[in-house]
Amino acid sequence: MIATIQYNSRKLQIDLSQPLDISIPVKASKDTVNAWYIGEPKIEPEKDGDWIATVKDGACINFNSIEFNPHAHGTHTECVGHITEEIHSINQNLKEFFFLAEVVTVAPEKMGDDFVISKKQIQFAIGNKKRDAIVIRTIPNTREKFTKQYSNTNWPYFKKEAVELLVKKGVKHLLIDLPSVDKEKDECQLLAHNAFWNTSKEIRLDATITEFIYVSNKIEDGTYFLNLQLAPFENDAAPSRPVLYKIIN
């Protein structure tokens, strides 16, 4: 199905029949993506004595409780409340869900013992384009990202200057396939998080960071229409399902 959408001053034709889901699901398994030194998610039926809330055990329903951490398990979207003393809810601050997005592929650069995403790389990838959202695919890009255990791996991270460039370009929504925009162990400096949300000045309450995405190699770099679907949790972060749509015109 082709839909024509008025977006700002542009009319976009979107192919709604071919959604490109770039999320990683939460599943109850050790063989699922994880970070931040905690165990795997749990999805278990409720119990009352000998009664187990599953149809296979004789109940008339399946009735599971779920235990997980949105920052550690699967794709999630977070707001500035992730790093502030004042409570800010992603559900209260993200009120629009469709954005013009640019998908870019970046190979993190070696810097000492680390791999980083630099300002120079961001400038090269985006150029003079003005986008609401930037979707960053890092390479190597394998399906291991669905199951990788990131704790104590010193994953690639953004240099502060790279994030400041995104803010300068007006990017409100940053989507990455890593556990964090910051270094795993940085003595709680959180330089990239603070730069993106502009915490030292006027906080960007409507800006979001989405982590743990997976952008298939079949998805080409370029401009897409992004639907950033969010579970309505009153929390600094919530599970999310970003979906890309090709722009035809």
Q: What is the CATH number of the domain that holds 143?
A: 3.50.30.50
116: pLDDT strictly greater than 90:
yes
Q: Is residue 30 part of a domain?
A: no
pLDDT averaged over the chain?
96
pLDDT tens per residue, range 10-58: 889 999 999 999 999 999 999 999 999 999 999 999 999 999 999 999 9
pTM for the complete prediction?
Answer: 0.96
Question: Residue 81 phi/psi, 5° resolution?
Answer: -60, -15
The 3-state DSSP class for residue 196 equals helix
Report if residue 31 sits inside a domain.
no
**pLDDT at 161 (0 to 100):** 98
Distance CA 224, CA 236 (A): 27
Please tell me the predicted confidence (pLDDT) of residue 8: 82
Q: What is the pLDDT of residue 3?
A: 85
Share of the chain above pLDDT 90, in %: 95
CA distance 208 to 205: 8
How many C-alpha atoms does 110 have within 13 Å on its Cβ side? 2
pLDDT, residue 205, reads 97
- Does residue 6 lie in a domain region? no
d(CA 145, CA 213): 9
Domain span at residue 151 reads: 17-24+70-246
Is residue 138 a part of any domain in this protein?
A: yes
144-160: per-residue pLDDT in tens? 999 999 999 999 999 99
Tell me how far apart the alpha carbons of residues 55 and 200 are, in angstroms, rounded to a whole number: 53
In this prediction, residue 216 carries a pLDDT of 98
pLDDT band, residue 9 (cuts 50/70/90): confident
Which residues 6+ apart lie within 8 Å of 111 measured at CB? none
Q: Give yes or no for residue 6 having a pLDDT over 90.
A: no
pLDDT score, position 10: 82
Counting the structural domains of the chain, the total is: 1
Determine the Cα–Cα distance for residues 133 and 104; give it in Å rounded to an integer.
Answer: 11
pLDDT tens-digit readout, 177-224: 999 999 999 999 999 999 999 999 999 999 999 999 999 999 999 999
pLDDT of residue 128 exceeding 90, the answer is yes
Span 225-234, pLDDT tens digits: 999 999 999 9
In a domain, 215, yes or no: yes
Whether 62 is in a domain gets the answer no
- 165 part of a folded domain: yes
Domain membership of residue 41 (yes or no) is: no
Residue 5 pLDDT > 90 = no
Nearest to 19 by CA among 230, 238, 222, 219: 219
Alpha carbon distance, N-terminus to C-terminus of the chain: 14
